[in-house]
């Protein structure tokens, strides 16, 4: 069959098929568009189109016709092979079951990342506590003064207004979750970016803690960080886990091609990152609206902080061990 009779024979089918696609894509139909097919007939119509495209290619019909059929097939392919939409129930299942399971599956990387954060934190904390002037190797004198003023005792009188809390919430969201995301992304650079972010944060947090302890601002500082510490530090460690997975896939892809290993690791890592984002939002909320409240007695703050760590350990250690 020559090209022109082939086009004439199927022209009506193709117009109806295009109209069906317009409807599925919720595009505005043309004024002179054909009537669309019933949805039940869509898959069969798609298979017919695939066959017509194959025939047209085998008979070497001209480029414009092949382009047109290819475009129709591509649009139909995108409609047919669309991922099903996730629902609210799936999100809950993810947080209660899937996320802690994924963390346990990467337990070795978790402990490695925890060491990368907490060892420099402790080391720097002890060192700066012994000789507080070490802090000037990291921070400028002006920032040290600013940090010290923030935690100076006797500020109960100038309690922060609710508007300030909201501003700080915005700041923690933007800054801390941004750090978490960058830690993950940096992992693709052979893991170096993620490891660097962990070490860097460990060194800074350790230095500031050691300095403020040495200066005697113990209660103001530790009552502030107690509440959100469990969620924020664990969130950063898990962002490191997700990042190192990317790096490890590039360094040692095993029996896969590097891009395939990377793709697999990224698919696992991004699911960890959803949990990380949830943890960091929780941490930002506590940090902005609870940690900053100096009217709460110190004992309550420490108790809440301890409960946070305990719940974190129970959640990551045991949640989802039994099928829901």
Partner 1 sequence: MPNPALLDTVRHVETPEGITLKLRVAGPMARALAWGMDSLIRYGALWGLSMGLVLLGWAGLGVWLITLFLLEWFYPVVFEIYADGATPGKKALGLQVVLANGAPVDWPAALIRNLLRAVDFLPAFYGFGVVALLVSRDFQRLGDLAAGTLVIYRDPPAKPLALPPGPALPPPLPLSAAEQQELIAFAERGSVLNPERQEELAALLADCTSGLRGVAAVERLRAHARWLVGERT
Binding flag, residue 14, partner 1 (CB under 8 A):
no
Of residues 146 and 260, the one with the C-beta less far from partner 1: 260
Using CB under 8 A, pick the residue from 16, 19, 37, 50 that binds partner 1: 50
Q: Where does 128-167 show beta strands of DSSP type E?
A: none
Q: Residue 53, interface with partner 1 (CB under 8 A)?
A: yes
> Interface with partner 1 includes 267 (CB under 8 A)?
yes
Least distance (Å) between residue 196 CB and partner 1:
12
Question: Cα–Cα distances in Å, from 75 out to 9, 32, 43, 52, 257?
Answer: 22, 20, 13, 15, 30
Answer yes or no whether residue 63 interacts with partner 1 by CB under 8 A: yes
What's CA 201's distance to the chain center, in Å?
A: 18
- 270: contact with partner 1 by CB under 8 A: yes
If one asks whether residue 300 binds partner 1 (CB under 8 A), the answer comes out as no
Stretch that binds partner 1, among 34-42, 142-150, 187-195, 208-216 (CB under 8 A): 187-195
User: Which tokens belong to 50?
Assistant: 């695939």
122 near partner 1, judged by CB under 8 A: no
Nearer to partner 1 (CB atom), residue 60 or residue 108: 60
Per the CB < 8 A criterion, the answer to whether 269 and 277 are in contact is no
Residue span binding partner 1 (CB under 8 A) among the ranges 34-42, 69-77, 198-206, 294-302: 69-77
Asked whether 243 and 303 are in contact (CB, 8 A), the reply is no
145 contacts 135 by C-beta, under 8 angstroms: no
Contact between 104 and partner 1 by CB under 8 A: the answer reads no
Which letter, b or e, does each residue of 262-300 get, where b requires 16 or more Cβ atoms within 10 Å of its Cβ?
Answer: beebbebbeebbbbbbbbbbbbbbbbbebbbebeeeeee
| Residue 266 engages partner 1 in binding (rule: CB under 8 A) | yes
Distance from C-alpha of 227 to C-alpha of 35, rounded to nearest angstrom: 62
Query: Taking CB under 8 A as the criterion, which residues in 227-246 touch partner 1?
Result: 246
State phi, psi for 292 to the nearest 5 degrees.
-80, -10
Name the residue with tokens 């990380």: 276
Binds partner 1 (CB under 8 A): choice among 185, 212, 225, 272: 185
Query: d(Cα 309, Cα 293) in Å, to the nearest integer?
Result: 20
Q: By CB under 8 A, is residue 163 in contact with partner 1?
A: yes
Q: In the bound complex, what is the minimum distance in angstroms from residue 181's beta carbon to partner 1?
A: 5
| Binder of partner 1 out of 238, 273, 283, 316 (CB under 8 A) | 273
CA angle 195, 147, 278 (to 5 degrees): 45
Question: Which residues would be at the binding site for partner 1 (CB under 8 A)?
Answer: 1-6, 25, 46-47, 50, 53-54, 60-64, 67-68, 70-71, 73-74, 77-78, 81-83, 86, 161-171, 173-174, 177-178, 181-182, 184-186, 188-189, 193, 246, 259, 262-263, 265-267, 269-271, 273-274
């Amino acid at each position: 069959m020559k090209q022109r009779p082939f086009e004439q024979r199927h022209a009506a089918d193709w117009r109806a098929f295009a109209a069906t696609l317009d409807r599925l894509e919720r595009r505005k139909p043309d004024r002179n568009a054909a009537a669309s097919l019933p949805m039940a007939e869509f898959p069969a119509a798609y298979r017919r189109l695939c066959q017509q495209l194959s025939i047209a290619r085998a008979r070497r019909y001209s480029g414009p016709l092949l382009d047109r059929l290819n475009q129709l097939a591509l649009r139909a392919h995108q409609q047919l092979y669309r991922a099903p939409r996730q629902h609210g129930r799936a999100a809950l299942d993810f947080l209660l079951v899937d996320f802690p399971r994924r963390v346990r599956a990467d337990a070795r990387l978790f402990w490695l990342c925890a060491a990368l954060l907490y060892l420099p934190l402790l080391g720097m904390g002890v060192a700066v506590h012994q000789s507080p002037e070490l802090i000037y190797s990291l921070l400028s004198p002006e920032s040290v003064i600013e940090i010290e003023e923030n935690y100076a005792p006797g500020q109960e009188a100038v309690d922060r207004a609710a508007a300030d809390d909201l501003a700080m919430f915005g700041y923690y969201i933007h800054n801390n979750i941004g750090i978490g995301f960058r830690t993950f992304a940096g992992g693709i650079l052979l893991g170096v970016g993620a490891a660097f972010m962990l070490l860097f944060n460990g060194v800074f947090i350790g230095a500031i803690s050691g300095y403020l302890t040495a200066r005697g601002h113990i209660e103001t500082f530790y009552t502030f960080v107690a509440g959100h510490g469990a969620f924020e530090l664990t969130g950063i460690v898990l962002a490191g886990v997700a990042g190192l997975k990317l790096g490890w896939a590039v360094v040692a892809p095993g029996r896969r091609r590097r891009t395939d290993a990377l793709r697999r690791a990224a698919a696992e890592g991004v699911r960890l990152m959803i949990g990380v984002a949830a943890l960091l939002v929780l941490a930002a909320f506590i940090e902005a609206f609870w940690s900053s409240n100096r009217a709460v007695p110190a004992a309550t703050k420490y108790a809440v902080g301890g409960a946070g760590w305990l719940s974190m350990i129970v959640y990551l250690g045991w949640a989802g061990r039994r099928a829901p």
